[in-house]
Amino acid sequence: MHQYEFIVWVCLAVMGYLTLHAIIERLFFHGVCRISEQHHLDGMTAKICKFRLSDTGNNISLRRLCSVLNGQESNHREHLGWLAPLVRVAQGHPLKLKKLIFEFQDSVNRFTAFLSTVLYAAPALGLLGTVLAFVEMAYSDVNFIQVMPMAFLSTLVGLLISIPASLTTGLLEPRVEQLLDQSDQVLDALSETENRTSKSTDTASENARAGCGDETGTTVSELIKTQQRVCDQMEQMLQQLDQFIGLTQLTTSTESARLATHEIVDAVPVDQICSH
């Protein structure tokens, strides 16, 4: 049983170290990160909704707002809290701003699942160490009074690990929810701006296609008319050609008849013509 107890104590030690690191990191993060005042955040999102993306959808005109955050209004940065440095770093690019907000949400949620797991795992692990100690005591001749303090020591260590984790989770949970709600509000404003710009771009594309369609229809009608004129001219030329061929055939027939008459006249002797 000694090896199992050793494993339990190693797990408790590692869990205690990680829990202490997570608690210190969370307290430092939320001590530095300030929550935005709601009415200032509403004004910020309203300004974002008024901006329009370019046709490429990659740029947004936030530079004026960035200049405000960089010191033209000294109190503005404090009112916006966590959002001010993100907008300043984004430098007017909505996709970069959204990426920074997503990373901020990941930072807000960091160690949340771990602390929630430690809240239940640490007492259970300490109780496991106590049970293993009792089982070992039952199969040995060790005095119960001597083993009792060491048996409950693992349970005590597990509780000492879980209680700070529970307090930290309970104290920071409202701040985490508020920060996530505010970041979702900014993301919704950016998405609304992108959707509005996409609709405007689609409408412009449809109008352009409609204009091209009208021009194409006009061009096709002109081509049809031109083709009809060419066909009429070719028909007239064919008629003139038929008339020319008819005249040529008539002239040829007349010339043949004249030649035949000369041949007949030449064939009759002159004496016979005279006698007659």
- The structure tokens listed for 269 are 């002797």
For residue 86, which of 100, 68, 69 has the smallest C-alpha distance?
A: 100
**Residue 251 pLDDT more than 80?**
no
The tens digit of pLDDT for each residue in 109-152 reads 989 999 999 999 999 999 988 888 888 777 777 677 777 777 78
Helices (H) then strands (E): counts for the chain: 9, 0
106: pLDDT confidence band, cut at 50, 70 and 90?
A: very high
Task: Report yes or no: 83 and 182 within 8 Å, Cβ to Cβ.
Answer: yes
For residue 193, the model assigns a pLDDT of 74
Its pTM stands at 0.62
CA-based radius of gyration for the chain: 49
Task: Please compute the mean of the pLDDT values over residues 250-254 and round it to a whole number.
Answer: 61
For residue 85, the model assigns a pLDDT of 84
Angstrom distance (rounded) from CA 165 to CA 158 = 11
Separation in Å, CA 191 to CA 54, 57, 194: 14, 11, 5
Angstrom distance (rounded) from CA 91 to CA 88 = 6
203: pLDDT confidence band, cut at 50, 70 and 90?
A: low
Angstrom distance (rounded) from CA 52 to CA 172 = 36
For residue 186, which of 84, 79, 78 has the smallest C-alpha distance?
A: 84
- Measured between its terminal Cα atoms, the distance across the chain in Å is 164
Separation in Å, CA 271 to CA 142, 260, 276: 177, 21, 9
DSSP sequence for 227-240: HHHHHHHHHHHHHH
Mean per-residue pLDDT of the chain: 75
For residue 48, the model assigns a pLDDT of 72
74: pLDDT confidence band, cut at 50, 70 and 90?
A: very low
For residue 270, the model assigns a pLDDT of 47
**Residue 255 pLDDT more than 70?**
no
Separation in Å, CA 128 to CA 35, 154, 162, 239: 41, 8, 15, 113
- The structure tokens listed for 219 are 């061009």
